[in-house]
Amino acid sequence: MAFILTFLGKGGTGRTTIAIAAAKKFANLGQRVLLVGQDPTPAFGLLLGTFPRADPTEVEPNLKAVQLQSTLLLERSWDEVKKLEAEYLRSPTLKNVYGQELGILPGMDSALALNAIREYDASGEYDVIIYDGSGDQATLRMLGMPEILSWYFRRFRQIFTESDLGKAISPFIQPVTSAILNVTWTPDDFANKPTQQTSQMLEQGKTAVADPNRVAAYLVTTGDTAALATAKYFWGSAQQVNLTVGGVLLNQIPATDTLAADFAPLTVSALPQLSQVADWQPLMDALPDFKQAMQAPKAITIDVANRQVSLFLPGFDKKQVKLTQYGPEVTIEAGDQRRNIWLPPQLSGQAVKGAKFQDQRLIISF
Amino acid sequence: MAFILTFLGKGGTGRTTIAIAAAKKFANLGQRVLLVGQDPTPAFGLLLGTFPRADPTEVEPNLKAVQLQSTLLLERSWDEVKKLEAEYLRSPTLKNVYGQELGILPGMDSALALNAIREYDASGEYDVIIYDGSGDQATLRMLGMPEILSWYFRRFRQIFTESDLGKAISPFIQPVTSAILNVTWTPDDFANKPTQQTSQMLEQGKTAVADPNRVAAYLVTTGDTAALATAKYFWGSAQQVNLTVGGVLLNQIPATDTLAADFAPLTVSALPQLSQVADWQPLMDALPDFKQAMQAPKAITIDVANRQVSLFLPGFDKKQVKLTQYGPEVTIEAGDQRRNIWLPPQLSGQAVKGAKFQDQRLIISF
């Protein structure tokens, strides 16, 4: 299992350059590193000094790089879907649709990238995977996908089973499935079988994102007001997907006391400018120990004994955070994200008794 | 119907600043302008000088601004879905799921933004809508959505109808639908009814994106090598979604002959630096007439008489463009995008006889 590292910040603050320097640093320390670029433009290759392919290729000792290509990843995923269909369906039909025809819809890039990272991680070939994504809300949506998708499955499976539509379809499931499937399914199988493997994968994804030993993000900013505000915003937003932010990297500005206070309790590191002759060493030397993410505050702490849930939401004030309990779970809205908090059985389904915002935290009592 | 304008380019090249200046310029000319910001961070408001709300609000005469909020847009769309369900379903079940619980998955931001722009356009309240999106591949995926989604519908409806699954389900459609629906559907209705309205909307979207009178993009770049390469890449990529690129805006670099040649036949405009005191006038004055997009090359030209299709693909070379004919349509792959070319009846279903790459164009003969 690899340590997966990514960088968040406004465009143009030097995220890609820092991602490359971090990859080189880990590789120099003897770690087996994979640098994953999401940006399909030539910018990634120009900064790296070589144009990576759509499959991992060594660019220097211990360091492989890959530039994700959604069209290719979709082709491969489609082949997997067709295999799965052929396993279940007596006469597969998707075989008549070719991966090479499929266009890319919004969201596919993120889903395919997350799946690619999962596979690179599972391969056991890497100690560190550095993901150079868009570094903005899209990266957070991607990392939040396992948790949010699990919620959709959980919620809508129940709704479907209890619905008139579900009940009306129920008696037909057996005749239909026995007519077309290699196996016979009961209505229960129908609701569970095809989603079982997916659910397992989503659970693993959720656990990984929540663990700073497995996944961490660092903020990147210049001294520009908009860049600083963006970094702060992503710090809070990252918590909404349970992603640990390990520290702040200041691109070509000194680490003042004001900045340190703004981002406390995180460590703030000042980075030098990359020289034109591409001597990466000074930048590599200035990077912090990324494993310090383990000391950063956790996004969520659940205290069953005191019936309290504490959410770390830095950068937001009380008015920017909304707590609701419409559905069966507690929903937190902040940073244009919604998080449904899965609670342990002792607190699950209980009404919220009170909530206060204190020391960058939303504390909910049950 | 409004003129919809957006900007493409590497992060940090000044796209948002230019979008604001363009909005102010149109407003000064007496046009009713809506500036739509996709970025959820405070950066948009900081640059604009005021923090826009989640619904259009006037920021100066003739100029309204909105900062899209996906959580809110999803709530509203969910209400629409529930209304539609209530219309068809005898006992609606989705009413038990609240919009306020729904998390945002990758791709939803784009789909919701496109729908919001469609509604703002249809309202008749605006002459110009300026969309300040991520300005990268994600913006292209969003604008490509109507065409690509139509393709998926077209292709998979046929596959489903001809499949064993489709045939096995067919006899059950009438009993199931009559049990749960307010109306009785035949299998044909089942395949067409719920998608009819969507298909119409997608067709309208496709037509709008393809028309430079309705939708146009401008490239933004600084003198940085990576920024220039990115602008060039998006120029070609935009053609893959049938989006017209009207010109190039050079942020704080002079318009040299080399640059003009690089982007020929587009017009290249040099823009001054925005002063710290936020005097927008010099920047507004330096902006080109955005309607010149109508003179820019069209993404696709179909010559039925000569049985030729010409695709404008600047910035790519022959090796970067792939032409295949796996499915029933001709597929073009370039810029990590896939486009299935819908051909007029005279050429549809015919085998490609030849293809050549010449003067930035892929010319296909049938």
Indicate the residue of A97, A107, A168 with minimum beta-carbon distance to B327. Answer: A97
For chain A, list the domains and their CATH numbers.
Answer: 3-72+101-148+207-293 (3.40.50.300), 300-365 (2.60.40.790)
pLDDT band at A24 (very low <50, low <70, confident <90, very high): very high
> Percentage of residues in chain A with pLDDT exceeding 70?
96
First to last CA, chain B: 37
Q: B308 pLDDT exceeds 90?
A: yes
C-alpha angle B215-B218-B221 in degrees, rounded to nearest 5: 160
Q: In angstroms, rounded to a whole number, what is the distance separating the alpha carbons of residues B297 and B212?
A: 10
CA distances from B4 to A182, B11, B22, B218 (A): 51, 21, 12, 11
Candidates A312, A146, A325; CA nearest to A237 is A312
Longest dimension (CA), chain B: 71
Is pTM beyond 0.90? Reply is yes
Candidates A75, A1, A9, A6; CA nearest to A37 is A6
Torsion of CA A55, A59, A62, A63, to 10 degrees: -60
Q: What is the mean pLDDT of residues B312-327?
A: 92
Instruction: Please tell me the distance in Å from A156's CA to the nearest CA on chain B.
Output: 8
Q: In angstroms, rounded to a whole number, what is the distance separating the alpha carbons of residues A105 and B11?
A: 22
Q: What is the mean pLDDT of residues A56-84?
A: 95
pLDDT band at A14 (very low <50, low <70, confident <90, very high): very high
pLDDT band at B124 (very low <50, low <70, confident <90, very high): very high
The region of weakest confidence among A151-160, A286-295, A330-339, B3-12 is A151-160
Residue B44 contacts residue B52 (beta carbons within 8 Å): yes
Name chain B contacts of A93, Cβ cutoff 8 Å: 159-160, 162-165
- Contact partners, residue A22, CB within 8 Å, separation at least 6: A5, A130, A284, A287, A290
pLDDT band at A276 (very low <50, low <70, confident <90, very high): low
Cis status, amide bond into A265, omega within 30 of 0: yes
Under an 8 A CB cutoff, do B338 and A11 touch? no
pLDDT band at A260 (very low <50, low <70, confident <90, very high): very high
Which pLDDT belongs to residue B187? 64
What is the amino acid identity at position A132?
Answer: D
C-alpha angle A351-A353-A356 in degrees, rounded to nearest 5: 125
Q: Is B255 left (phi over 0), alpha (psi -120 to 50) or beta?
A: beta
Higher pLDDT, A175 or B353: B353
Q: A166 pLDDT exceeds 80?
A: no
Q: B96 pLDDT exceeds 90?
A: no
Mean residue pLDDT of chain A comes to 92
Which chain A residue shows the shortest CA-CA distance from B112? A106
Which pLDDT belongs to residue B328? 81
Pair of tokens at residue A206: 């959720």
> Percentage of residues in chain A with pLDDT exceeding 90?
75
Residue B37 contacts residue B44 (beta carbons within 8 Å): yes
In 3-state terms chain A splits into helix, strand, coil percentages (rounded to 5) of 45, 20, 35
Q: What is the mean pLDDT of residues A167-173?
A: 74
Q: Tens digit of pLDDT for each residue in B269-298?
A: 999 987 666 799 999 999 999 999 999 999
Under an 8 A CB cutoff, do B10 and A11 touch? yes
Which residue has 């004001």 as its token pair? Answer: A258
Q: What is the mean pLDDT of residues A100-124?
A: 97
Q: B190 pLDDT exceeds 70?
A: no
Indicate the residue of B10, B11, B164 with minimum beta-carbon distance to A90. Answer: B164
The number of helix segments (H) and strand segments (E) in chain B equals 10, 15
**Residue to test with chain B: of A81, A85, A91, A137, most B Cβ within 10 A:** A137
pLDDT band at A190 (very low <50, low <70, confident <90, very high): low
Pair of tokens at residue A23: 């990859």
State ipTM.
Answer: 0.93
